[in-house]
Structure 1
Amino acid sequence: MARPIIHHRTAEFESIVEQIRADLKQIFQTSGEVLVLASSGTGAMEGAVSNTLCRGDRVLVVNSGKFGERWEKICGAFGIEVEEITVEWGRAVDPALIRQKLDKNPSIRAVLMQASETSTGIKNPTAKIAAITRERDDVILIVDGITAVGVFPLPFDELGIDVLVAGSQKAFMLPPGLSFAAMSTKAWEFNKTSDLPKFYFDFKAAAKSADKNTTPWTPAVSLVRGLSQVLKMFVGEGLENMHKRHAVFSSATRSAFEAMEMELFTKDEPSPALSVAVAPPDIGAGPLIKTLKEDFGITVAGGQDQAKGKIFRVSHIGYIDRSDTVAVVSAVEQSLKKLGHGFDFGSGAEAAARIISENL
């Protein structure tokens, strides 16, 4: 990525795009095109809406955390009517509720959800929900997979997802600036009748350019070159090993938190993308996060909205290996001890190291 910029309307750049297109299909597990956009993941989320729906359409949004709310705001900006399923933070949505909503209101045109809700750490049952929407020719499933693609199995074609978006700054190990979108045959049929405004995020234009191994607008050249190297690493490691790595690191970290006598915030199936713990109430998340940063140079995320000051979130995505995982756990232990939390010191690091050594 630090190499000199190359001209994007050249055979050299087109050859890079050609390889990226092939590799992204493997990662998304689709035979269709995976569009590459110069934007954050929210750009792909907006495009997923504007390229499939119409003014006045009604959609069902699963609000299981902060990023579920984003679907509502995007739809609202385009004049789309939103029906919401609100899920308790830390819980996954019950697919039966989605079936009930669709049966009760046949005017619903799309279900929008997060596969992995990073504000709470839960993994939503995408496969079960896709089985419901797959039965309906007049309903599409739009999935935010920004912290899911490359993290756990989410086979696009097999599950019957209709739109799946992702971003460069998560499992793809790159700086922010690229987003990705895959569209099913059903979604492309919806595209034909979509009347929402679109220009920069025109998926039809992006697909037409992709067929020529190029982009409709000036691409983020350095990030695209970085993506080509990341995808080579992914293909070399293999999807199964990638998914296993994330699963092991998240399992090790959660076990470590429990050994430190902390409550896990996620009550249903956790996302392997991160581990979320409730900080000891007498300490709070703020002092713990601050100590990790000042004493160890480690940055972890806090909670948002209702969870602010209560939880902290440790990521397992990106360029992270087993030594990083054990180091974070050890730093949390030392920080908690310094802040006065009583627990069996060393038990967390031991639990994490044991799970990693037994499974990787």
Structure 2
Amino acid sequence: MFTDKLILRIPGPTPIPPRVQLAMSQPMIGHRSGKFSALFARTAERLKPYFGTTQDVYILAGSGTSALETGVVNTLQPGDEAAVLISGAFGERFAKICERYGVIAHRLEVPWGEAVTPELVEAFLKEKPQVKAVFATYCETSTGVQNPIAELAKTIRTHSDALFIVDAVSCLGAVACEMDAWGVDIVVTGSQKAFMLPTGLAFLAASERAWKVIEANKPLAFYLDLKAYRKSLADQTTPYTPAVSLIFGLAEVLDILDEEGLPAIIKRHELMRDMTRAAMRALNVNLMAEDAYAAATVTSCDPQGAFDAEALRKVLTKQYNITIAGGQQHMKGKIFRIGHMGYCEPLDVLQVISAIEMSLHQIGAPVELGAGVKAAQEVLIAHV
């Protein structure tokens, strides 16, 4: 086994295409040069279709969490009230950011593995008519749930004047996002998931309605002040030092995505999801999310005591150089999560499923070798 041939199948960071790695190795250029300004402006413009917006997309040097925080500090003030829709670990992060800045966060929580439904949101907003923003997670990485953002947006617009702010960190670029058509006010994401880059870039787009609020607010942060980014983007630059090499890589990523086309990208991720879920069912492994709300980018599996999830992960890593993710918070050590996004295709899914079958056999779990692979193959063949 080649020890340097690592196979990463976690829900981020994801593998980086070789041509993107090569693009990032270009010689450094001045971040205030005309060459960089032209590249930066062109690259920011090319992000718009993946957000489903005609609004500007802002690029920050920071992780996905910096984008979440940007969404909070530019739209709310201390003492304001917000509704936070929580279906896992990352919804809770939005609530913690709100509270750090003195915002009153009203939590609407559902059990891990369930989605937030429009009916729940409607009832919650009737109880909390004073909220100024509603925060939601599009793909809840900790559970493999993909919340129905389009339906939630419609409900929020119907029953509230609150802004709708969405964390799409672990799915944008792999799933449909129609920010303008759906009526979402702010969408944020990061570079290390479906955008196939290292951690270090955050992206954000805001609606005209959101901008009216942002312009009227006193910014709570310096580095994350969106008004500064808006002013700088008009001059084809950033207010603070950009991550130049990552922008080189992002331009190459957008070439790759544009070559495949967003409709095909979405279908590929749905296919990999369906293959993975069919395989796990064939292996009698419980899936955390219902089919209707299953994420296209990550599948969470709960053995429910049938075998040790951590033992499975250890064998995968030691014997096959394959890394899958474990559980978070109260699910730590209990579940495992398979990432299938970005630089990943159906044959990669067959590889990881085959290795999971062998690892299950090695840890003594009841498994029929080939059952999961066969189920996944049948999904793939039907698609082809």
Same fold, TM exceeding 0.5? Answer: yes
Tell which has more relative contact order, 1 or 2 (C-alpha 8 A, sep 6+). Answer: 2
Q: Distance in 2 between matches of 1:23 and 1:94?
A: 32
Distance 1:135 1:294 in 2: 52
What does residue 155 of structure 1 align with?
178
* In 2: Cα distance, 1:301 partner to 1:113 partner: 23
Residue 279 of structure 1: how far off its partner (Å): 2.7
Residue in structure 2 matched with residue 96 of structure 1 by the alignment? 119
> 1:286-297 alignment to 2 at 5 Å?
286-297=310-321
User: Aligned runs of 1:53-92 on 2, under 5 Å?
Assistant: 53-92=76-115
Do the aligned residues in 1 keep the contact of 2:278 with 2:372 (CA within 8 Å)?
yes
Could you tell me which amino acid in structure 2 is paired with residue 304 of structure 1? Q
Pairwise CA distance, 1:15: 1.8
Residue 235 (structure 1) aligns with: 258
Q: Partners in 2 of 1:312 and 1:176 — Cα distance?
A: 22
Tell me how far 1:210 sits from its aligned partner: 1.2
Unaligned runs of 5+ in 2: 1-23
Inter-partner Cα distance in structure 2 for 1:357 and 1:281: 33
Output the amino acid matched with 1:270: A
* Mapped partners of 2:383, 2:134: distance in 1: 36
Deviates more, 1:107-116 or 1:133-142: 133-142
Report the Cα distance in structure 2 between the residues aligned to 1:104 and 1:342, rounded to whole angstroms: 48
User: How many residues align structurally?
Assistant: 360
CA distance in 2, matches of 1:195, 1:57: 13
* Matches of 1:222 and 1:161, distance apart in 2: 31
Q: Does 1:122 align with 2:145?
A: yes
After superposition, what is the alpha-carbon deviation per residue over 1:268-292, rounded to whole angstroms, capped at 9, x for unaligned?
Answer: 5111111111136242111000000
CA contact (8 A) 1:64 1:88 kept: yes
Two-structure CA RMSD over aligned residues (Å)? 1.3
Give the structure 2 partner of residue 176 of structure 1.
199
Identity of aligned residues (%): 40
1:112-147: CA deviation from partner (whole Å, max 9, x where unpaired): 010110100001111111002223673100100001
Which contiguous aligned blocks of 4+ residues in structure 1 show a shift greater than 4 angstroms? none
Please point out which of 295, 302, 305 is paired with 1:281.
305
Q: Which runs of 5+ in 1 are unaligned?
A: none
The aligned counterpart of 2:361 is 337
User: Equivalent residues in 2 for 1:296-335 (5 A)?
Assistant: 296-335=320-359
Determine which of 373, 378, 382 is the counterpart of 1:349. 373
CA contact 1:64–1:117 (8 Å) conserved in 2: yes
Aligned partners of 1:251 and 1:341: how far apart in 2?
A: 23
* CA apart distance, 1:184: 0.5
The 8 Å contact of residues 121 and 156 in structure 2, kept in 1 or not, is answered as no
Q: How many angstroms does 1:318 deviate by?
A: 2.2
Q: CA deviation at 1:43?
A: 0.3
Normalised by the size of structure 1, how large is the TM-score? 0.97
Q: Hey, what's the Cα distance between the residues in 1 that align with 2:375 and 2:262?
A: 26
Match of 2:27, SS? Answer: coil
- Aligned twin of 1:257: 280
Mapped pair 1:190 → 2:213? yes
Q: Structure 1 residue aligned with 2:167, among 144, 149, 161?
A: 144
Secondary structure, counterpart of 1:172 in structure 2: coil
Q: Is 2:28 the counterpart of 1:13? A: no
Contact 2:215 2:227 in 1 (8 A): no
> Any idea what the Cα deviations from partners look like across 1:13-65, whole Å, max 9, x if unmatched?
11211221221011111100011000000001000001111110000001110
Greater CA drift, 5-14 or 271-280: 271-280
Which stretch of the first structure deviates more once superposed, 93-102 or 251-260? 93-102
Deviation at 1:77, TM superposition (A): 0.6
Residues 250 and 274, structure 1, Cα contact 8 Å, conserved in 2: yes
Q: State the alpha-carbon separation in 1 of the partners of residues 237 and 129 from structure 2.
A: 40
Matched residues in 2 for 1:153 and 1:246: separation? 11
Q: Deviations over 1:292-347 (max 9, x none)?
A: 00001001000112211211000011211222111100000000011112232101
What secondary structure does 2:47 align onto?
A: helix
8 Å contact from structure 2 (residues 219, 225) kept in 1: no
Report the equivalent of 1:167.
190
Structure 2 Cα separation of the partners of residues 314 and 167 of structure 1: 19
CA distance in 2, matches of 1:35, 1:135: 28
Aligned to 1:271: 295
Output the CA distance in 2 between the equivalents of 1:105 and 1:277: 34
Question: For the residues of structure 2 that align with 1:196 and 1:8, how far apart are their CA atoms?
Answer: 26
Determine the structure 2 residue equivalent to 1:111: 134
Residue identity opposite 1:96 in structure 2: E
Shift of 1:105: 2.3
Q: Check the 8 A contact 1:265/1:311 in 2, yes or no.
A: no
